[in-house]
Amino acid sequence: MSVNTLRRAVLGLFALAPIGGLVACGYRLRGMVDLSFKVIAITGSPSPPLRADLQTAILTGTDAKVAINPKDADLILDIISDINGREILAYNSNGQVSAYRLNIRVGFRAYDVAGADVVPEAEIYMTRDMDFSVSTVLATDVQMQQFLSLMRRDLAVQILRRVAASARAPQAKSF
């Protein structure tokens, strides 16, 4: 064995040691959402960007497919409301806006083909604070759209995680 091969092997061991420790303790990266449903339909009134983010999250983050027709689905994800907003957070000494708070509120419910609630009507709310400068309005507008896009993607994954957690949880029996 040459010195270079031995050096590479030792460096490889040092590089993999921290990852091995993380795997041993049960750590895993956020990735797949483990859903027991194989076909999901999105109904209700989501905005087109939220619908696209939900479809992307389902197709890339789960083993499920997206159905066009709710009759073909195992789970119906009904988006009840999708509200984006911004509010003034701060003013500068000249009385001009210097910060905004962006918020998105999504109301939803999920139920199976029999009509039984998997997730009863629920709401997820997300905020993000953003600095604002009058001198860079166009750049700030682009930044705001990027923040909203990232927030919608995160909300889509949170909705799927909530559905997965509720589907796994034991259902309370009513008498």
Q: Which tokens is 59 given?
A: 């197709």
Q: What is the pLDDT of residue 26?
A: 57
pLDDT tens, per residue, the chain with 175 residues: 677 777 777 767 666 667 666 555 655 545 578 888 999 999 999 999 999 999 999 999 888 999 999 999 999 999 999 999 999 999 988 888 889 999 999 999 999 988 899 999 999 999 999 888 777 777 778 888 999 999 999 999 999 999 998 887 665 555 4
Q: What is the pLDDT of residue 133?
A: 79
Q: Which tokens is 137 given?
A: 């309005």
CA 130 to chain CA centroid, Å, is 20
Number of Cβ within 10 Å of residue 83's Cβ equals 12
Q: In what order do the strands lie in the sheet with 75-91?
A: 65-67, 39-44, 75-91, 97-112, 117-131
Is residue 20 within a helix (H) or strand (E), and if so which, with residue range?
Answer: helix 3-24
